[in-house]
Amino acid sequence: MIFVTGGTGLLGSHLLYRLVTSGETPLALKRPTSDISITRKVFSYYCTNVDELMNKVQWVEGDILDYSSIAEIIEDVNEVYHTAATVSFKPSDKKKLLSINVQGTANVVNASLEYKIRKLVHVSSIGTLGRADTNGLVTEETHWNSKKSSVYSTSKYSAELEVWRGIAEGLNAVIVNPSIIIGPGNWNSGSSKLFTTMYNGLMFYSSGTNGFVDVNDVVVAMTKLMQGSFSGERFIINSENVSYESLFHIMAKELNVTPPRYKATKFLSEIAWRLLYIKSLITGRQSTITRETAETANQAYRYSNKKILDSIGIKFMTIEESLKRNARLFLLDHKE
C-alpha cells in the first residue's frame, strides 16, 4: 500500500495520477477542509475517465501535525511519498513554515520508523542546496548557506535534517530536490501562477537564470527512485537551466501575448518589492514579489542533473516543450 501526503497540490496530484494509471490504489492525506477539485482537474488534463481514476484514490482525513493520525495511516502502508509542504517567502510566515514543513516531516519520519515501512521518498527543494560560485554548477554536494536562504528554504532544510536523522536511525529513504516545477493545476498559486501573470501582462523580465523541470518528469523520477535500490541519498531533479528572459519570451509566444520589454535591474527590483510590500499592507493581499524572490530573480543559478541521469536514465522533457503543453492547457481553461 502506498501513502501520499500533499495529494491536492501540484506535484502530489500528478503523482496520484501516475500511481492510479499504473494500477495502484494509493492512500492520500487530506484535511477535512481540503478541496480535491484541483486533483480532479489535473486528472482531466490527461484522461477522459476522471471519475473512474479518482475513485481509485483512497482519501483519508488527517493532519500532518497530528502524529497519531499520521501513524494510524502509515501503520497499514509500506511506501510513503511525502510531498506536503507550505510555500511562502514572507518572514512573517516563519512559524507556520517551521510547523508544517519541519514538524510535519518529523511526524512522517517517526511514524515510518515506528512501523518499519519499506521506503520513504521525501520531496525537498532546490533551495536547500548551496549556491555555486559564479558560473558554477550546483550539485548534490554543494553546501547550504544559511545566510543566503529564505525562510522557506530554511524550513525545508530543517525538514531534510529530520529525514537524515531518520536515515541514521535505519529508515530507508531518498530525498529529491526539484528545481522550479512547471505544470498545470491551480493557475493562481505557486509556479503555475507564472502563466496567469504572463497572460495578464508582464512588462519586466529579470536578468537571472534558474533551473526548471516539468512536473511529470519529477513524478517519473520519484517513482523510479522508490522502485530502485537507492537509499540514503539526495537527487537534484532539473531539466534545464534557463534565463528568465528566455523563459518569459517562450511563454508569451505560446500564450499569444506581448513578451516583457524591459529588463528589471537590481535597483528596480529593490524598489518594486518595497512598493508591493506597502501595497500589501494597505490591501491585505499578499504580494507576489518579496525581498527574497526579487533577489533570486536577478541571480544566475545553475543546477547539475548528472546524478539523476546516471542513476535512472530519465529523459527530461525540454522546457520549451513543457511551456508549450502547459500554455495550451492554460488557454483551454481560460476559454472555459
User: What is the C-alpha separation between 129 and 317, in angstroms, rounded?
Assistant: 23
Asked whether residue 111 carries a pLDDT value surpassing 50, the answer given is yes
Write down the pLDDT at residue 292: 57
Write down the pLDDT at residue 6: 94
Give the dihedral sign, CA 192/198/204/205.
positive
Write down the pLDDT at residue 45: 96
Write down the pLDDT at residue 147: 64
Least confident of 221-225, 266-270, 310-314: 266-270
Asked whether residue 224 carries a pLDDT value surpassing 90, the answer given is yes
Q: How far is CA 47 from CA 21, 43, 50, 51, 181, in A?
A: 10, 6, 6, 10, 21
**How much is the mean pLDDT over the chain?**
88
Write down the pLDDT at residue 335: 78
User: What is the C-alpha separation between 291 and 274, in angstroms, rounded?
Assistant: 8
Q: What is the tens place of the pLDDT at every residue in 254-288?
A: 999 998 886 765 544 544 434 444 444 455 555 55
Give the three cell numbers for residue 98: 517551521
Write down the pLDDT at residue 144: 81
Calculate ∠ Cα 34-173-17, nearest 5°: 40
For residue 291, name the pLDDT band (cuts at 50, 70, 90).
low
Write down the pLDDT at residue 112: 97
Q: What is the tens place of the pLDDT at every residue in 24-43?
A: 999 999 988 888 999 999 99
For residue 72, name the pLDDT band (cuts at 50, 70, 90).
very high
Asked whether residue 2 carries a pLDDT value surpassing 60, the answer given is yes
Give the three cell numbers for residue 184: 498545470
HSE of 181, CA atoms in CB hemisphere, 13 A? 27
Rg (CA), the chain: 19
Write down the pLDDT at residue 133: 59
- Kindly give, in sequence order, each residue whose CB lies less than 8 Å from that of residue 179, ignoring residues fewer than 6 positions away: 126, 210, 211, 212, 213, 236, 237, 238, 239, 303
- Pairwise pLDDT comparison (272 vs 218), residue with the higher score: 218
For residue 289, name the pLDDT band (cuts at 50, 70, 90).
low
Write down the pLDDT at residue 279: 45
Beta-bridge partners for 300: 209
User: What is the C-alpha separation between 150 and 292, in angstroms, rounded?
Assistant: 6
Instruction: List helix spans (H) across the chain.
Output: 10-21, 37-46, 50-54, 67-74, 94-97, 104-114, 151-168, 193-200, 215-227, 244-255, 266-283, 291-296, 306-312, 319-335
Least confident of 135-139, 160-164, 321-325: 135-139
| CATH class of the region 2-181+211-240+302-317 | alpha beta
Write the DSSP assignment of 148-163 as a string of letters: G--HHHHHHHHHHHHH
User: What is the C-alpha separation between 123 and 6, in angstroms, rounded?
Assistant: 10
Least confident of 75-79, 111-115, 139-143: 139-143
Q: What is the tens place of the pLDDT at every residue in 73-92?
A: 999 999 999 999 888 777 77
